[in-house]
Amino acid sequence: MSSATATRDNPPARIGNRRKVRIPGRLTWRDASGTLRFVSVITRDVSEVDAFVECQVPASIPLYRLVHFQIERPARNVSELPRALQSGKVLSAVYRVGPFKSSTGTPQGYALRLLVDPHRVASAIDRVSTVAVAN
């Protein structure tokens, strides 16, 4: 069996449980020349450690770029959001660039890894699993 078949049949497990949530947010980053850039986004799904966002306007953010991700203030109290996103800006890394739109030549969205304290994330996941098990 080839390794390509093994990965297709057994995709890697996700780190966190993703929840489909459509909430407005904003990404800010500095480009190669040091100029501050920002773009409005809509979340497509989120977990404790990552999120996929869709840009409202064409934006070109390089893979592995560090960005600040924040949810717009009126939407921060949504219960499906991870605690880190409810509190404000979260330093994140672009770890996957979505498919490109032929009309604009820019990606349809970006997968972000939230750079949060792993101990805090682990304890939050433990609390959720404990609550889910209790009857």
Q: Is residue 8 part of a domain?
A: no
43 touches 111 (CB < 8 A) = no
Specify the number of domains making up the chain.
Answer: 1
Q: Report which of 113, 99, 32 is spatially closest to residue 69, judged by C-alpha positions.
A: 113
Q: Is residue 2 part of a domain?
A: no
Distances (CA, A) of 26 to 7, 36, 73, 95, 123: 34, 13, 10, 17, 27
Q: Is residue 102 part of a domain?
A: yes
The CATH number for 94's domain is 2.40.10.220
Q: Is residue 103 part of a domain?
A: yes
| pTM listed for this prediction | 0.74
- Structural domain span for residue 128: 13-133
Mean pLDDT for the chain?
81
Q: Is residue 82 part of a domain?
A: yes
The answer on pLDDT for 133 being more than 50 is no
Which tens digit of pLDDT belongs to each residue from 53-84? 999 888 889 999 999 999 999 888 888 888 88
**Backbone phi and psi for residue 5, each to the nearest 5 degrees, phi listed first:** -65, -40
